[in-house]
Amino acid sequence: MSPRPPVVVLGSASPARLRVLRAAGLDPRVVVSHVDEDAVVAASGSDAEPATVVTRLAEAKADAVAHMVAGSSDAPSDAVIIGCDSMLLLDGRLSGKPHTVDAARAHWRAVRGRSAELMTGHCVLRVTDGTVRARARESSSTVVHFSDADDATVDAYVASGEPLEVAGGFTLDGLGGWLIDGIDGDPSSVIGIGLPLVRRLLADVGVSVADLWARA
């Protein structure tokens, strides 16, 4: 009898990432890392490459979740932890979640009618018997083409509350989808977790995504 595939743990509070994984045949546990994202960005230094910053964020989240899972009463003997983090790169500057109405409005007035890169860091850990046995990490980049939305549309979108707590102040799979003219790259990465990249990272830690489908 072949060994049972590992338990999948998503280290993210993002409902969009969870939807992507469920639609793609997985049913992960969700454990929120509570990592201080601003502190990780600051520790990376102002000269760090954007890909390095988002990958460090993803790795910090995955490591925090691995520690939490290992210390839980129902810790699986074999698990894969998936951590992700996204930021928008515009004019050489990374931006994350706007958090406030004023910041979201200013952000949208800066990006409308322009293109920017959505950078998403990914980290996959293989944890057996409470110990990280393997790790793989990488980032993806997708170009997002923003519509030239007028002030009234921008204000209505900001008032919806949707852009306040999402990376880059927009979604592709929600109200923000109306305001995106197109993308160049992986759609799932823009939503927050790139399936092709995660498939490769899983293989790097010795896990077949087809086996995970079977477990789910």
**Which DSSP helix (H) or strand (E) runs through 43?**
helix 37-44
Which of 38, 85, 150, 173 is the catalytic position? 85
CB atoms within 10 A of CB 60: 22
Question: 7-215 adopts what CATH topology?
Answer: Maf protein (3.90.950)
Q: Look up 85 and say whether it is catalytic.
A: yes
Average pLDDT value over all residues in the chain? 93
Per-residue pLDDT reduced to its tens digit, 165-195: 999 999 999 999 999 999 999 999 999 999 9
Check residue 2 and give its pLDDT.
57
Kindly state the tokens that stand for 43: 């520790």
State how beta strands 7-10 and 29-30 pair.
Answer: parallel
What pTM value is reported for the model?
Answer: 0.92
Residue ranges of domains in the chain: 7-215
Rounded distance, CA 127 to CA 106, Å? 42
pLDDT band (50, 70, 90) for residue 1: very low
State how beta strands 93-95 and 78-90 pair.
Answer: antiparallel
40-44, 85-89, 121-125, 182-186, range with the lowest pLDDT: 40-44
